[in-house]
Amino acid sequence: MAAHGDGGGDRAGRALPPHSPSGAVLQTVEMHTGGEPLRIIPRLEAAEQAAAAGLSLLSLRREVAAGQDHVRRALMHEPRGHAGMYGAVVVRGGAAAEGAHLAVLFLHCAGYSAMCGHAVMALGRFALDYGLVPAPTRPETAVRLRCPCGPVTAFVPWDGHRSGNPVRFHSVPAFAAATDLAIDVPGHGKVVVDIGYGGTFYAFLSAEQLGLDVCSSRTRDLVSAASAVTEAVKKQFKLHHPESEDLAFLYGTILTDGKDAFSEEPTTNICVFADEQVDRSPTGSGVTARIALQYHKGLIQLDQTRTFRSSTTGSLFTGKAVKEARFGNYDAVIVEVSGEAFYTGTATFTVEEEDPLKHGFFFK
């Protein structure tokens, strides 16, 4: 929650370190899903005020980016965060959260995302444990979230006292935006990529096309190659989103082991998104997009479950297409993704006004 402290008080009984009386005190709940961190900001006063004024969630995202970006930088960047940090601002009430238990703005080190599957799974647990769902049901509760990409439902185990695992969610309609697209990548030559949408757009290709192995190559080499693909696709292919051009951007590139045909064995990938940020989990929205691509190509059928492994941590998500849908001019599917989210603690962050690095610094 955002609050204001007096910055002083009795030293022996001091609850907070010295800080600027006019500065926000930011309290967070810390979680991870498959190793990917999530720093939850349960309340950001400026966002709540803007939501109460009737802004849509996409408009609210623009408003927060324009007027509150120092909060994102302070909590995502060093010294409070790190180059792999991820966050979520919880928004309750107003048009932004209409028809949902909560709305959410996703934060990362370079800006704001439209969808984040690992965050949705963590937020599903958070919503139950922190009372955002008025009457949770046993043994599982449906938690309705409104994300910038649209409505998403998480299904969370509930025993009457606390949430549990695994958590699963149903995506917005996911689709293949392009398949077998030839792209010229500087330093690597021509490669063939697929572009899938799972709440945000990703380029997919096997690491082998870049002379790498997703399981054994150095992470630095995988990150550099994936980032080169992202930049090349941005220059050579124009994305279109059926509902909003605000969502028509390439979020990153996912390098795979090339095992796209259905198998009971896990398939491994690494997701490099935003400004060379590496997902520690198998990437929930990436699993969504990859399932949509595999279904589009006839490689899997409805309700065939695949397992996805992160090459960075070895953590696992499962995914399956559960229903066909239509999204604009695209044949789409609703995808169910499942994983495990865990609490790691809580934190209280303060700012001293004279600190030259009070809003953080970004170091890769």
Residues annotated as part of the active site:
116
- Cα–Cα distances in angstroms (integers) from residue 286 to residues 25, 118, 162, 256, in the given order: 34, 10, 29, 11
- Per the CB < 8 A criterion, the answer to whether 97 and 260 are in contact is no
Q: How many CB atoms lie within 10 A of CB 258?
A: 15
- Per the CB < 8 A criterion, the answer to whether 347 and 179 are in contact is no
Token readout for 27 is: 């309290």
Q: How far is Cα 46 from Cα 44, in angstroms, rounded to an integer?
A: 6
Q: How many CB atoms lie within 10 A of CB 74?
A: 20
Kindly state the helix (H) or strand (E) to which residue 227 belongs, with its residue range.
Answer: helix 219-236
Burial profile 213-235: b = 16 or more Cβ within 10 angstroms, e = fewer: bbeebeeeebbbbbbbbbebbee
Instruction: Kindly write down the DSSP assignment for every residue of 40-98, as one continuous string.
Output: EES--HHHHHHHHTT--HHHHHHHHHHHSHHHHHHHHSBTTS-TT-EEEEEE-STGGGT
Q: How far is Cα 310 from Cα 273, in angstroms, rounded to an integer?
A: 14
Q: Which residues contact 140 (CB under 8 A, 6 or more apart)?
A: 155, 156, 157, 158
Q: How far is Cα 354 from Cα 297, in angstroms, rounded to an integer?
A: 57
Indicate the burial class of 110 (C-beta count within 10 angstroms; 0-12, 13-18, 19 or more). middle
Q: How many CB atoms lie within 10 A of CB 154?
A: 26
CA triplet 251, 254, 258: central angle to 5 degrees? 155
